[in-house]
A = this chain, B = another copy of it.
Amino acid sequence: MSLRHAILGLLTFQPMSGYALKTRYFDCSIAHFWPADQAQIYRTLQSLEAEGLAESHTVVGETRPNSRVYRITQAGQAALSEWLGVAQPLVTQKDSFLVQLYFGRLISRDQILAVLRARRAEHARLQDYYQRLDLPPGDSPMMRRQARFGGLTLDFARRRETMMLDWLDASIAEVEGWSEGQV
């Protein structure tokens, strides 16, 4: 249910079209911890409207194609607040890389090291991305409050990438220490 509530949350910034929501808001924030493609977002907006949590009207574009601008309703705000106040159950994070590593004994030491190093490179790239990423300072009281919470989630991403790199470095060193015959 997170995508529904994430979209309702973004609509609290201002009413907007699916396109603006995805390209100007979603992809720069929520997508870092709850990615979704265009089809999913458009369908979710339709479903939100069908349930009365959002409403839309067509805006005639003079310089662009017409767009359908969505606005959160009172019912939508109530549903969002309700959801935000209840602790979500902890869900096990799925990671196919850990499945690969768990069965590392089934391939050669060089092969598993190559997979580990490729993973390290990906996370180094991500760490760099999150280090450079900075949040818009906020030009209104609302956006300044928003920036604080955005800062918490960004802090999480940075800590996670640091932890990942530490663990990958330790794992690579450990596997390198295992003689080929033992692997």
**Which listed residue, B9, B90, B153, touches A106 by the CB 8 Å rule?**
B9
> Given the known A-B contacts A142-B105, A167-B159, are A88 and B96 also in contact in the complex, defined by CB atoms under 8 Å?
yes
Q: Mask for A150-183, Cβ within 8 A of B = 1, else 0? A: 1011011001101100110011001100100011
Q: Contact between B99 and A35 (Cβ–Cβ < 8 Å)? A: no
Q: Contact between B98 and A84 (Cβ–Cβ < 8 Å)? A: no
State the interface size on chain A (CB cutoff 8 A). 71
Cα distance A152–B98 in the bound complex, in angstroms: 9
Dominant secondary structure of chain A at its interface with chain B: helix
Cα distance A91–B31 in the bound complex, in angstroms: 11
Q: For the complex, is A24 an interface residue (Cβ under 8 Å from B)? A: no
Which positions 15-30 of chain A face chain B at CB distance < 8 Å? Answer: 29-30
Cα distance A171–B145 in the bound complex, in angstroms: 15
A-B residue pairs in contact (CB < 8 Å), sample of 6: A33-B92, A33-B102, A35-B94, A80-B106, A159-B166, A162-B163
Cα distance A166–B149 in the bound complex, in angstroms: 17
Which chain B residues border A86 with CB–CB below 8 Å? 115
